[in-house]
Structure 1
Amino acid sequence: MNQYINDVLNGKTESYRLLVRQLAPSLRSYLSGRLSDFHLVEDLSQEIFITVYQSLEKFDPKYDFRSWFFTIARNKLNSHLRKVYSKKSMKFAFEEEIQNLVAEVCDDDPQREGKLEHIQSCVAKLPEDALELIKSRYYTNETVISLAERLNSTENAISSKLFRIRKNLKDCLSAELIGHE
């Protein structure tokens, strides 16, 4: 990779295209693990590659290029997530997620608002660690990365746990709502 970098710095822009070709699959995989929108992954990938290209002169070849590259990628991703989450409070985001779960279960049920007590019942059934994880992620805006570090886990493990918690809530809602019809 260092040869590609030297070539780019010496005006051979075709070498950057080769560098992009090598790094793109890893970058997309990294971003896809944190973002659910394919188009957003593509857009952010392009933005990252542009930033890396513009910053290439700052790269110190005594360090690992991939580490430098993914540091830029992580910073861009975190910046994007801060922008998205600063537009709405995390409490609202959590409530919105729960309402989306209700919407999936109830579709266009006009009594959807009355189903909130079922949501509270399902949330109350969560184990303490799951409830703490949900609160940390959605109420206090703690990132998956930060949760992983704090809980001595991996980002993938935390994302998977959050997914399973949301699925359990959805399943509980389905059972609660079917049982009360």
Structure 2
Amino acid sequence: MPSPSHTTEFISLLTSHQTALRGFIISLLPGCPDVCDVLQETNIVLWEKKNSYTLGSDFKAWAFTIARNKVMKYWDKQKKQQKTTLSAELMSAIHEAKLQQAPTQLEHQLTALQSCLQSLKPDEQQLISARYSSHNDLKSLSHTWNRPTGSLRVTLCRIREKLRTCIELRLKGGLA
């Protein structure tokens, strides 16, 4: 059974790669209305196999391989229904090209956000986490933090502005 930190890290990796996974599946199923279904099936397999993933290894390559296998199963099913399909060789070529592709703007922004969150003071990190990770509203936070709602609203606004500035600087400086 994986540790809670393994599960937390896995969830973070899974969610941060959703855009890339969707783009990859779209590239293998151009114009296909079933992309969302294949992505969902891929996510299910990724979650079921989370214990076999080694933290620190290339999550993107691992996830793309599973997505590719799901697409191949989708194409096999379509073949049986006599619909046009891409060859396995072409899908392999697309798979390799996508793995070599530079990170997207969104991936750069997410990396910058993660770095900027780490640069916050510990109490700022806790407040951001309490507000957004736990989906607490300001009223419940005001009780927990023993601060007026208006005060928390101003503090969160200042922290968000600090994060926005940090992200912009990292993206302009190529630090993301």
TM-score normalised by the chain length of structure 2: 0.43
Higher Cα Rg: structure 1 or 2? 1
TM-score normalised by the chain length of structure 1: 0.42
Between the two structures, name the one with larger relative contact order (CA 8 Å, sep ≥ 6): 2
